[in-house]
Amino acid sequence: MVIEHLTLHVPLALQLQFLQNDARVWTATLAAQPGFLGKEVWADADNREMLHLIIRWQSRAEWLAVPSALLADTDARMTAAMGRPCPVLSCADHDVLEAGAQT
């Protein structure tokens, strides 16, 4: 399993709107993709305006196979729903280690 970790700055006043639109736009789109396992949004304990999106994929290959045109379209729909862009400040990926698995 691989984790996609995105960090965004979303002002507190916009977070409820962001969470609702993110579920309706991004999560619904990703959920239809092969290999998507789930998604969570975390607020940073030190800076509540920094949100961390933790997206679980069955494999890196399935994550990277999501069409770039679909990602661009989904981003445009999210921007329209929010009335402003919510740019990704950082993107990282992490491999989940399992006991007994070779690294």
pTM over 0.75: yes
Strand bridging mode 88-95 / 36-43: unpaired
Pick left, alpha or beta for residue 25 (phi over 0 → left; psi -120 to 50 → alpha; otherwise beta): alpha
**What are the tokens at 56?**
């679980």
Please report, for the chain, how many H helices and E strands are present, in that order. 4, 4
Q: Where are the beta strands (DSSP E) in the chain?
A: 2-9, 36-43, 50-57, 88-95
State the architecture of 2-95 in CATH terms: 2-Layer Sandwich (3.30)
* One pLDDT digit (tens) per residue for the chain, 103 residues: 999 999 999 999 999 999 999 999 999 999 999 999 999 999 999 999 999 999 999 999 999 999 999 999 999 999 999 999 999 999 999 999 988 766 5
